[in-house]
């Protein structure tokens, strides 16, 4: 009996005792954060993947400078975010070492760098908006091709600006005042462009000259690396001056013939043929002033274009005293609307994530950033590193390709 008890106790002492952790060996907050980041990775992977497919599958895509993207601004913003990743790590190390003041300093620096990033992004957005680049109509002035819709949009834009200044002049004249010199000059140029650019182009297109619309688009906003050809302008002006002289000569001949025929009709000695001829002459004389006005304004409009080798929109921007140009005409940028939609979507979502990170930093700064806050700072830092990593992918895709 004693032997059996000893044997039983021996078996009991030989059992392996296992210890189980109640959960994964990491804090619940970090686990939730990694689950959240996994969904964010899939979200941005889908967006970036879609952009890559659209970018390299599109028949036409604008160069960065065509849509007012500046590489060194994007590179500078990338450097700012990388520096902010360094400062959040330094804040975490200081907090774990119970150097609360130092941790707060580095966290504040991270907050400042993130704010700088958003301010630069706001500046870039404002630059796009100032040049009529929006993600969608009706604010967007982008057109995929130079067609009749583009020409009509240009005419509408010029006409609206002209009517605005004309109304202002009428209101001032009612008070015995007038437009200042700058606005008066702008109104004069709008009248010239309305006739010499918009109307001229529409009439040329109606006569079977679709190239006229493409020429109009190039005068307003040349593609990157191109400038308006002054030799081509001089050649057209020379042809127009010849046409102008021909119209003036015809007008003088018709006036002389009209005088003779009118005298015959008045005296009652005109034949039926002379009466019919007088009607034809009168009809011709009625159209010549309009044709002369069209040619004269075309010559003046080409003079404005020649003064703007980088396009009329660039000229309007240079002439403006404020941040926004006094006039922005519709632009023909193949692939521009698709680019604008994807650019604002990607950078907008990224900016929202940056803003969320800044809110988290702002919530932490009033607290004592000692070792007890280490987990919070670490989790926030992981989120911030993810935001930075997303931008490192976005920068070359948007600014360099």
> Where are the domains positioned within the chain?
25-139+335-399, 145-228+311-332, 235-307
Whether 2 shows a pLDDT value over 50: the answer reads no
Phi, psi dihedral angles at 332 (to 5 degrees): -100, 105
Give the CA-trace dihedral at 304, 309, 311, 316, to 10 degrees.
-60
Token output for 205: 């297109």
Whether 214 shows a pLDDT value over 60: the answer reads yes
**Picking from 86-90, 215-219, 226-230, 375-379, which range would have the lowest pLDDT averaged per residue?**
226-230
More confident residue, 18 or 148: 148
User: Which residue bears the tokens 């109009």?
Assistant: 216
Q: What confidence score (pLDDT) does residue 15 get?
A: 60
Give the CA-trace dihedral at 164, 155, 334, 130, to 10 degrees.
-10
pLDDT, tens digit (0-9, with 9 covering 90-100), for 255-314: 998 888 888 878 777 777 888 888 888 888 899 999 999 999 999 999 999 988 888 988
How many Cβ atoms from other residues are within 10 Å of residue 320's Cβ? 14
Whether 161 shows a pLDDT value over 60: the answer reads yes
Fold topology of 235-307: Helix Hairpins (1.10.287)
User: Which pTM was predicted?
Assistant: 0.81
Q: What confidence score (pLDDT) does residue 189 get?
A: 93
Q: CB within 8 A of 98, min separation 6: which ones?
A: 370, 371
Mean pLDDT of the chain: 88
Q: What confidence score (pLDDT) does residue 370 get?
A: 87
pLDDT, tens digit (0-9, with 9 covering 90-100), for 315-362: 888 877 666 788 999 999 999 999 999 999 999 999 999 999 999 999
Domains 25-139+335-399 and 235-307 alike in fold? no
Q: Quote the percentage of the chain above a pLDDT of 90.
A: 59
Closest CA to 74 of 131, 121, 122, 132: 121
Q: What confidence score (pLDDT) does residue 275 get?
A: 81
More confident residue, 136 or 85: 85
Q: What confidence score (pLDDT) does residue 1 get?
A: 45
Second-level CATH architecture of 25-139+335-399: Up-down Bundle (1.20)
Q: What confidence score (pLDDT) does residue 5 get?
A: 46
**Picking from 24-33, 100-109, 227-236, 344-353, which range would have the lowest pLDDT averaged per residue?**
24-33
Q: What is the arithmetic mean of pLDDT over 165-184?
A: 90
């Amino acid at each position: 009996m004693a032997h059996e008890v000893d044997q039983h106790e021996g078996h009991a002492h030989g059992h392996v005792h296992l210890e189980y952790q109640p959960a994964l060996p990491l804090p619940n907050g970090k686990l939730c954060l990694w689950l959240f980041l996994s969904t964010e990775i899939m979200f941005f992977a889908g967006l970036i993947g879609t952009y890559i497919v659209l970018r390299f599958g599109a028949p036409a895509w604008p160069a960065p400078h065509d849509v007012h993207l500046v590489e060194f601004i994007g590179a500078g913003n990338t450097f700012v975010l990388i520096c902010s990743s360094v400062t959040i790590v330094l804040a975490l190390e200081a907090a774990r070492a119970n150097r609360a003041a130092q941790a707060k300093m580095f966290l504040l620096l991270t907050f400042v760098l993130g704010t700088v990033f958003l301010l630069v992004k706001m500046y870039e957005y404002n630059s796009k908006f100032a040049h009529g680049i929006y993600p969608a109509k009706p604010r967007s002035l982008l057109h995929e091709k130079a067609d009749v819709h583009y020409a009509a949009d240009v005419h509408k834009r010029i006409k609206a600006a002209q009517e605005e200044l004309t109304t202002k002049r009428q209101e001032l004249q009612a008070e015995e005042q007038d437009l200042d010199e700058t606005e008066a000059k702008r109104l004069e140029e709008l009248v010239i462009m309305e006739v010499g650019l918009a109307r001229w182009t529409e009439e040329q297109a109606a006569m079977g000259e679709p190239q006229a619309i493409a020429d109009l688009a190039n005068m307003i906003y040349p593609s990157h690396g191109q400038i308006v050809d002054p030799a081509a302008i001089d050649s057209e002006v020379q042809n127009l001056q010849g046409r102008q002289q021909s119209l003036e000569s015809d007008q003088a001949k018709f006036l002389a013939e009209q005088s003779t025929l009118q005298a015959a009709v008045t005296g009652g000695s005109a034949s039926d043929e002379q009466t019919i001829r007088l009607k034809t002459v009168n009809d011709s004389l009625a159209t010549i002033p309009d044709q002369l006005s069209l040619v004269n304004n075309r010559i003046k409009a080409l003079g404005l274009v020649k003064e703007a080798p980088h396009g009329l929109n660039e000229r309007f921007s240079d002439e403006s005293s404020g941040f926004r140009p006094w006039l922005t005409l519709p632009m023909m940028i193949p692939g521009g609307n698709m680019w604008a939609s994807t650019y604002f979507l990607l950078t907008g979502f990224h900016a929202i994530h940056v803003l969320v990170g800044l809110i988290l930093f702002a919530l932490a700064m009033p607290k004592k950033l000692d070792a007890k806050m280490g987990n919070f700072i670490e989790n926030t830092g992981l989120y911030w590193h993810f935001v930075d990593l997303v931008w490192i992918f976005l920068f070359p895709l948007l600014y360099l390709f």
